[in-house]
Amino acid sequence: MNYKKIAINELVPELFTDFIRHQNVTHCWRYSDGQWKIEPVVFTEEWGHDEYKQLCGYLKNTLKTRGIVIGAFSDKDQLKGFVSVEGKRFGSYKQYLDLSALHVSEDVRGQKIGKQLFLLAADFAANQGVEKLYISSHSAVETQAFYSSLGCVDATEPSILHCENEPYDRQLEYRLGGIA
């Protein structure tokens, strides 16, 4: 894989022609009775042209506000993964930058592409002088296992905005400084 920054003019739906955002979800983490529990939750995530068009708008805004978008490209220059980090600090002492997206195409999952994208996002955030990455993470069991394997933990200061916008997401943070 070739990892590189994606420029604003490259953010068009056609960039995602060979990207497969598909996930069959069967179980999710849910917070109830004061603890996190795995519950059966069944649905399929599937993105098409309209979702990619909307995503391009979000990612362009990320770049306009001093954030970053990094792509993982195959030898055929096909986008197979991407990560975005917002440029605006937040938290009670501006300790966070928001890891706003991290996705790997279904056909190449399990090849450590997500981990490499995460590391690049962490490097960007560290270079901005913040203490932590903030992740409003999908609650699917597989997604939570991925973030846990990287050392992410429940956020000490959950973002009210994230909680309101995605009430089923799990609010995580990653202290910058390295992955084992």
DSSP-assigned states of every residue in 16-28: GTT---EEEEEEE
Tens digits of residue pLDDT in 107-143: 999 999 999 999 999 999 999 999 999 999 999 999 9
pLDDT exceeds cutoff 90 at 174? yes
Average pLDDT of the chain is 96
Indicate the pairing of strand 132-137 with strand 96-104: parallel
User: 180: pLDDT confidence band, cut at 50, 70 and 90?
Assistant: very low
Strand, helix or coil at 140?
strand
Rounded to 5 degrees, what angle do the CA atoms 45, 155, 61 make?
55
Q: How far is 100 from 93, CA to CA, in rounded Å?
A: 20
Neighbouring C-beta atoms of residue 37, cutoff 10 Å: 10
- pLDDT score at 177: 78
Tens digits of residue pLDDT in 38-83: 999 999 999 999 999 999 999 999 999 999 999 999 999 999 999 9
Residue 68 contacts residue 88 (beta carbons within 8 Å): no
